[in-house]
Amino acid sequence: MNTIPSDSVDIPLPGDVTAAQARAALSQASSAQLVTPRDLRLLTGFVAGVGVIVGAILYLSWATLSVGNQGGFAISMSLYAAALALLLVIKSRARAIPRGFRRTYNIGFAVTMTAYCSGILWIFGHQSPWPSASVVIPMSIVTAVPCLIAAALVHRTARA
Amino acid sequence: MTDQEQHARFRLDEVIHAPVRFSIVAALAHVEEADFAAVRDAVQVSDSVLSKQVTLLERAGYVEVKKGYVGKRPRTWLKLTPVGEAAFNGHLQALRAIAGQ
């Protein structure tokens, strides 16, 4: 057990704690809350946004490169980078990070990126003919879903 | 005399027991990390009071202080360490024993 440094004895020592004071302290401890609804909006928006832009870049890679539009592909990659930078700014505005956020986000992001890489490899492994939009659009949605689920879990866990 | 035989008040952590420090640790126990200003607003103390109490918690190894920038603005992040978490849980257990729960 640590002891109070001599220059900071600003309260009665623990020996005097009554049952009522202990109950009050326990109540305070369980109700202490730093994460605001604004923080939750920023963090869930960040996680969901990452999923959406990764799904979108999968679709845009196919939509541009399948018709030989290298310029369109470069523009879509630039927009992806700008959107990612914006999302990082949004995340940095959160003043408190709820417990479990990083783990949930990392898992969601890892699964989304696995789906993205698998999708890219599959699409570019089938170039003659290129897969149709009816295949690529669901693949893009599936790519975004893990991060969307992670965003929902962050929201639900933090509010619990 | 063993810990089991001692009155629960002897198991209270004297660093965490102080009201402001208790509020800080209780707030940080619910988050991975939090901005200095968010903790200040939640605990309702001045910058200087929070800074002094956080320094004591940091010296005890209970809180980690990380300084950085968001854009050009300096930001200070506070985080409960595993040692601080264990001490807080022990303190809560002692409070529960005193409260008769």
What is the tens place of the pLDDT at every residue in A103-144? 999 999 999 999 999 999 999 888 788 899 999 999 999 999
Tokens of A138: 């669901």
Nearest-CA distance B101 → chain A (Å)? 9
Average pLDDT for chain B? 91
Best of B23, B63, B95, B96 to substitute, by most chain A Cβ atoms within 10 angstroms, is B95
Which residues are CB-neighbours of A118 under 8 A, at least 6 positions away?
Answer: none
Residue with tokens 């089938």: A126
Determine contact: A33 vs chain B, CB below 8 A: yes
- Is the separation of the CB atoms in A99 and B32 below 8 Å? yes
For B8-96, give the CATH class: mainly alpha
How buried is B45 (Cβ within 10 angstroms: 0-12 exposed, 13-18 middle, 19+ buried)? Answer: middle
What is the tens place of the pLDDT at every residue in A55-73? 999 999 999 999 999 999 9
Tokens of A54: 């990764």
Measured between CA atoms, the residue of chain B closest to residue A34 is B27
Q: Show me where the domains of chain B are located.
A: 8-96
Claim: this prediction has a pTM higher than 0.95: no
Count Cβ atoms below 10 Å from residue B6 Cβ, excluding itself: 11
How far, in whole angstroms, is CA B28 from its chain's centroid? 6
Q: Which of A11, A28, A92 has its CB closest to that of B17? A: A11
Tell me which DSSP letter residue A98 carries: E
How far, in whole angstroms, is CA B82 from its chain's centroid? 11
Chain A residues with CB-CB distance to B87 below 8 A? 1-2
For the cut 80, the answer to whether the pLDDT of residue A14 exceeds it is no
User: Tens place of pLDDT for every residue, chain B, 101 residues?
Assistant: 455 567 777 788 999 999 999 999 999 999 999 999 999 999 999 999 999 999 999 999 999 999 988 878 899 999 999 999 999 999 999 999 988 86
Tokens of A104: 């949930």
| Closest of B47, B48, B60, B64 to residue B17, by C-alpha | B60
ipTM for the complex? 0.84
Tokens of A128: 């003659």
- Respond yes or no on whether the N-terminal peptide bond of residue A129 is cis (omega within 30° of 0): yes
Chain A residues with CB-CB distance to B38 below 8 A? 34, 36, 95-96
Residue with tokens 């693949």: A139
